[in-house]
Amino acid sequence: MQIDIQTVIQYFQSLQDNICQALEQADGQGKFVEDNWQRKEGGGGRTRVLTDGAVIEQGGVNFSYVSGDAMPAAATAHRPELEGRRWQACGVSLVIHPKNPHIPTSHANVRFFMAEKDGAEPVWWFGGGFDLTPFYPVEEDVVHWHQTAFDLCKPFGDEVYPKYKHWCDEYFYLKHRDETRGVGGLFFDDLNHWSFEKCFDFVKAVGQGYIDAYVPIMNKRKDVGYTEAQRQFQLYRRGRYVEFNLVFDRGTLFGLQTGGRTESILMSMPPLARWQYNYQPEPGSAEAILYQKYLKPQDWLALA
């Protein structure tokens, strides 16, 4: 099977452009600054970061294409069929940290991986998804997020949304805290059971779906006032984001193990975060409701 990775690369670059444009428009002030980089072992990328916008405190939207002659041991331990194969990987990854605690942090990525060996069929798959991490969640925002995810999955089969929603709840879970990172969304990996074209179409739907899901929430919440106490709670909860990315996130670990560009990989970190020993929210408070209601997997569309 001939896989044209250049077509995937071109789409991911245009998706990066479209997401940056949509977020700049919603912010109204900030602009993404581009940092082009090359990887000595093969490939490179475009890191785009927006700081101190009117709405976005810090956000990054990265495109990368990397390649190599051999997979890291961490990857081949789980996929022995990849041993001895040349590999290529490309994708778009983003994290947006708004300043206003009433706007959730959001994350999305779409990616493609291919490994080849002379005389053998290429091994390939897509992965990606998006998830939402609110601090002061509004139920209608969470329902809108999941409704958008449901709608984009629907043309690909009735089983797709429940499967990838469940996978997201399982993946973005902090085992040592016994809580989800946020309210979930979609997560998928190893996607190759459809034709290449259908898998690619699904990834395109996810890329556009992120814009459709997140920008309306930004626009709806960006003018809501907040207190210093709410800001401090946001910084405390951002600490959970750091914990997840450094301890569990496979993309972070893969990037570091394959000699990726550290600045771009760790762009997902919030600009400010804090930790507090044995924090307990006030009973009945908005902070307590986050823990009691929102950091547990559930059928959000049942609330629609």
Query: What does the alpha-carbon distance between residue 215 and residue 110 come to, in Å, rounded to a whole number?
Result: 18
To the question of whether residue 109 is assigned a binding role by annotation, the answer is: yes
Asked if residue 49 belongs to a known ligand binding site, the reply is no
For residue 259, say whether it is annotated as part of any ligand binding site: yes
Distance CA 173, CA 181 (A): 6
Residue 201 tokens, joined: 């179409």
CA angle (89, 94, 265) in 5-degree steps = 60
User: Known binder of ligand: residue 284?
Assistant: no
Is 160 a known ligand-binding residue?
Answer: no
Helix (H) or strand (E) holding 173: strand 173-174
> Is 193 annotated as ligand-binding?
no
Catalytic annotation, residues: 107
Does 166 carry a binding-site annotation? no
Distance between CA atoms of residues 172 and 244, nearest Å: 8
The closest of 220, 224, 244, 243 to 286, measured between CA atoms, is 224
Q: What is the DSSP string of 63-104?
A: EEEEEESS--HHHHHH-GGGTT-EEEEEEEEEEEEESSTTSP
For residue 107, say whether it is annotated as part of any ligand binding site. yes
Q: Which of 173, 170, 95, 180 is nearest to 130 (CA)?
A: 95
Helices (H), the chain: 5-27, 73-78, 139-153, 160-171, 196-221, 228-247, 250-257, 262-265, 286-289
146 is in an annotated binding site: yes
- Residue 56 belongs to what H/E stretch? strand 56-68
Q: Structure tokens of 272?
A: 């400010």
Taking the C-alpha atoms of residue 237 and residue 133, their distance in angstroms, rounded to an integer, is 9
Indicate the annotated binding residues: 93, 97, 107, 109-111, 146, 176, 259-261
Indicate the annotated binding residues for substrate: 93, 109-111, 259-261
Indicate the annotated binding residues for a divalent metal cation: 97, 107, 146, 176
